[in-house]
């Protein structure tokens, strides 16, 4: 399948009609980037300088090309082609390749699929050349160099014979070399002895030939990983109302969950793709902590996301895919509240929370064997019902810890003792009692560890508030005599 598309910049005046070209400033001047049929028939071809083109055709209409925009639009089109098959990929800068094996019957056979595709592309305002063939290589050649848009039958050697050697997806130098040798068509090289041909023109020629004729298989790597399970819903009329989308999602979920149940799987990650009438798509994703196939729960997760749904001019099709699934043995899924145990409820809660707040927003804490206060706690993803180790706390520890210790202004009678009062956050605290020090040694075996000891003190101020402060001590020179606030008791 081949697609030639033109995106016109805003500065193109649609009221004027005539030969049209897109230009792109490159090193060495402005060159023609793409041309339409009328311009091509006047002898203008891509790669020409604009000055040459203007000399040939003074009233050529031009607009600036936008290759990045084209690439984005093509990526959007590839996504959109997901409506036909999960295996779709880019094919160069101007093509889309689809693997339609096993999908064509959904659209009334290959003919039906192709004519549907053609009609839709035309409605989107795209000029496209759509063909189908038994190998990607043959389809590529036929879409670009074939003379009509028919479907190549299984044994189409004959139709491919008269095509130019450039239909083999060869590098321009190789094509040039072949042509210098007088080999212009596929017919000319197909029966040549293979070894001398490879020696003179490189093995690429043979490789490409084999790919065209199916001697070497050429799988299509889809842009998105192919989902294991999917369900689709096509609407006779495009929908746009929020309630309709919610209902359709529910319907798809029920269907998908039935399929998953039949296969003993539970979904971990789901994507819902909206195919809008204007040929654009939108994807909503949800994830679950544990494999799940409860359509009600998944629906609740999607409800959170459906707020972002932008139907645009209407959605004509929705596809729900289970991207990641895990085995989930059959068990009695609770229907009424009494049979659902607390652990399960918690897992579902975690799913809902993570879905809205993100993976990093929901977590649990676990101990780490370290004496350094800020290292003693690690954050872990929530696993409910799993008990973990506990801290072994021999010394008092604050109930709140500052993420980064804050410098305090300490006023000390002599350098060796604890402050008599200190300023912290623009407030003066008079120290009533102090306990300490508790010396915490640096972890020298770690690469980026502190090098100094920390002497922690528990200071209580005139209001009874208790602070955990420290200063560096030990063998380093007493250069850093500053005090740091690290946590709060009570």
Partner 1 sequence: MEREIPNTRSDGLSDLRRTIQNIERRSQYHARTAPISFGTAEIDVALPWGGLARGGLHEINGDGGNFGFHAGLLRRAVGENGNILWCRHAGVERETGRPYGPGLMHFGLNADQFLFVRSRHAVDILWAMEEGLRTPGLAAVVGDGIAPDFTATRRLQLAAEATNIPAFILLPPRVLQQSALPSAALTRWDIKTTCLAETKGSTRWQADLLRCRGGVPKNWIIEWNEQTLCFHLADILAGGANATYKETA
Q: Which is nearer to partner 1, 265 or 354 (CB)?
A: 354
CB atoms under 10 Å from CB of 149, counted, come to: 17
Q: Which is nearer to partner 1, 330 or 403 (CB)?
A: 403
Phi-psi region of 449 (alpha: psi -120 to 50; beta: other; left: phi over 0): beta
Rounded CA separation 260/278 (Å): 32
Q: How far is the CB of 452 from partner 1 (least distance, A)?
A: 17
Chain position carrying tokens 């296969």: 263
Q: How far is the CB of 352 from partner 1 (least distance, A)?
A: 6
Q: Which is nearer to partner 1, 3 or 485 (CB)?
A: 485
Residue 96 pairs in a beta bridge with 90
Q: Which is nearer to partner 1, 249 or 355 (CB)?
A: 355
Q: Which is nearer to partner 1, 463 or 477 (CB)?
A: 463
Chain position carrying tokens 């891509």: 46
Distance of CA 374 to the CA centre of its chain: 34
Phi, psi of 454 (to 5 degrees): -120, 135
Q: How far is the CB of 441 from partner 1 (least distance, A)?
A: 14
Q: How far is the CB of 445 from partner 1 (least distance, A)?
A: 22
Q: Which is nearer to partner 1, 380 or 446 (CB)?
A: 380
156 in Cβ contact with 134 (< 8 Å): yes
Instruction: By CB under 8 A, name the binding residues for partner 1.
Output: 337, 341-346, 348-350, 352-353, 356-357, 360-367, 373, 376-377, 382, 384, 386-388, 390-391, 393, 396-403, 417-418, 432-437, 439, 460, 463-466, 487-490
Q: Which is nearer to partner 1, 76 or 396 (CB)?
A: 396
- DSSP-assigned letters across all residues of 228-270: SEEEEEEEEEEE--HHHHHHHHHHHHHHHHHHHHHHTEEEEEE
Q: Which is nearer to partner 1, 386 or 479 (CB)?
A: 386
Phi, psi of 168 (to 5 degrees): -90, 10
Tokens at residue 80, please?
């959109």
Q: How far is the CB of 245 from partner 1 (least distance, A)?
A: 21
Q: Which is nearer to partner 1, 49 or 364 (CB)?
A: 364
Please give the helix or strand (H or E) that residue 198 lies within, else none. Answer: helix 194-201
Q: Which is nearer to partner 1, 79 or 351 (CB)?
A: 351
Q: Which is nearer to partner 1, 145 or 363 (CB)?
A: 363
Q: How far is the CB of 411 from partner 1 (least distance, A)?
A: 15
Q: How far is the CB of 470 from partner 1 (least distance, A)?
A: 13
Rounded CA separation 170/204 (Å): 7
Rounded CA separation 352/439 (Å): 44
Q: Which is nearer to partner 1, 439 or 446 (CB)?
A: 439
465 in Cβ contact with 452 (< 8 Å): no
Rounded CA separation 345/349 (Å): 6
Tokens at residue 421, please?
């009062």
Q: How far is the CB of 393 from partner 1 (least distance, A)?
A: 5
Tokens at residue 226, please?
């192919």
Rounded CA separation 149/132 (Å): 8
Q: How far is the CB of 439 from partner 1 (least distance, A)?
A: 8
CB atoms under 10 Å from CB of 380, counted, come to: 12
Rounded CA separation 406/423 (Å): 11
Tokens at residue 409, please?
């202004």
Q: Which is nearer to partner 1, 329 or 387 (CB)?
A: 387
Q: How far is the CB of 248 from partner 1 (least distance, A)?
A: 25
The DSSP secondary-structure symbol of 151 reads P
Q: How far is the CB of 481 from partner 1 (least distance, A)?
A: 17
Tokens at residue 232, please?
């689709």
Tokens at residue 342, please?
């607390």
Q: How far is the CB of 377 from partner 1 (least distance, A)?
A: 5
Q: How far is the CB of 482 from partner 1 (least distance, A)?
A: 19
Query: Which residues 6+ apart lie within 8 Å of 358 measured at CB?
Result: none
CB atoms under 10 Å from CB of 338, counted, come to: 7
Tokens at residue 3, please?
């697609």
């Amino acid at each position: 399948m081949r697609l030639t598309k033109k995106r016109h910049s805003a500065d193109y005046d649609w009221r004027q009609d005539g030969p049209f070209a897109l230009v792109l400033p490159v090193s060495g001047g402005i060159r023609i980037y793409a041309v339409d049929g009328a311009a091509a028939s006047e002898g203008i071809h891509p790669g020409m300088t604009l000055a040459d083109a203007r000399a040939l055709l003074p009233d050529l209409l031009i607009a600036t090309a936008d290759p990045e925009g084209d690439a984005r639009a093509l990526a959007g089109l590839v996504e959109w082609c997901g409506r036909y098959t999960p295996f779709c990929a880019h094919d160069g800068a101007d093509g889309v390749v689809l693997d339609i094996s096993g999908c064509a019957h959904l659209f009334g056979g290959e003919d039906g699929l192709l004519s549907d595709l053609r009609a839709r592309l035309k409605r989107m305002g795209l000029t496209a050349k759509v063909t189908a063939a038994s190998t990607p290589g043959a389809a590529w050649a036929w879409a670009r160099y074939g003379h009509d848009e028919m479907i190549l039958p299984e044994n189409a050697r004959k139709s491919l014979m008269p095509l130019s050697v450039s239909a083999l997806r060869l590098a321009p130098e190789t094509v040039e070399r072949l042509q210098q040798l007088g080999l212009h068509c596929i017919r000319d090289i197909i029966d040549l002895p293979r070894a001398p041909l490879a020696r003179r023109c490189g093995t690429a020629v043979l490789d490409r030939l084999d790919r065209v004729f199916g001697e070497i298989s050429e799988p299509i790597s889809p842009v998105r990983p192919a989902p294991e399970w999917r369900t689709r819903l096509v609407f006779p009329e495009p929908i746009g109302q929020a309630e309709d989308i919610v209902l359709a999602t529910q319907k798809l979920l029920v269907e998908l969950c039935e399929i998953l149940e039949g296969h003993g799987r539970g979904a971990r990650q789901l994507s819902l793709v909206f195919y809008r009438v204007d040929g654009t798509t939108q994807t909503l994703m949800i994830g679950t902590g544990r494999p799940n196939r409860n359509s009600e729960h998944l629906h609740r997760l999607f409800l959170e996301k459906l707020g972002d749904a932008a139907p645009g001019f209407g959605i004509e099709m929705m596809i729900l895919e289970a991207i990641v699934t895990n085995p989930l043995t059959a068990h009695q899924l609770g229907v009424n509240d009494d049979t659902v145990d607390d652990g399960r409820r918690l897992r579902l809660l975690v799913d809902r929370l993570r879905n809205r707040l993100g993976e990093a927003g929901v977590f649990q804490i676990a101990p780490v064997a370290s004496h350094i206060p800020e290292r003693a706690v690690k954050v872990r993803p929530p696993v409910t019902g799993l008990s973990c180790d506990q801290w072994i706390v021999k010394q008092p520890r604050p109930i709140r810890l500052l993420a980064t210790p804050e410098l305090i202004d300490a006023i000390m009678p002599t350098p060796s003792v604890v402050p008599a009062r200190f300023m912290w956050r623009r407030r003066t605290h008079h120290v009533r009692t102090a306990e300490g020090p508790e010396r915490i040694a640096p972890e020298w075996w770690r690469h980026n560890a502190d090098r100094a000891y920390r002497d922690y003190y528990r200071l209580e101020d005139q209001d009874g508030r208790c602070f955990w402060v420290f200063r560096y001590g030990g063998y380093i020179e007493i250069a850093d005599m500053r005090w740091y606030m690290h946590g709060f008791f009570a």
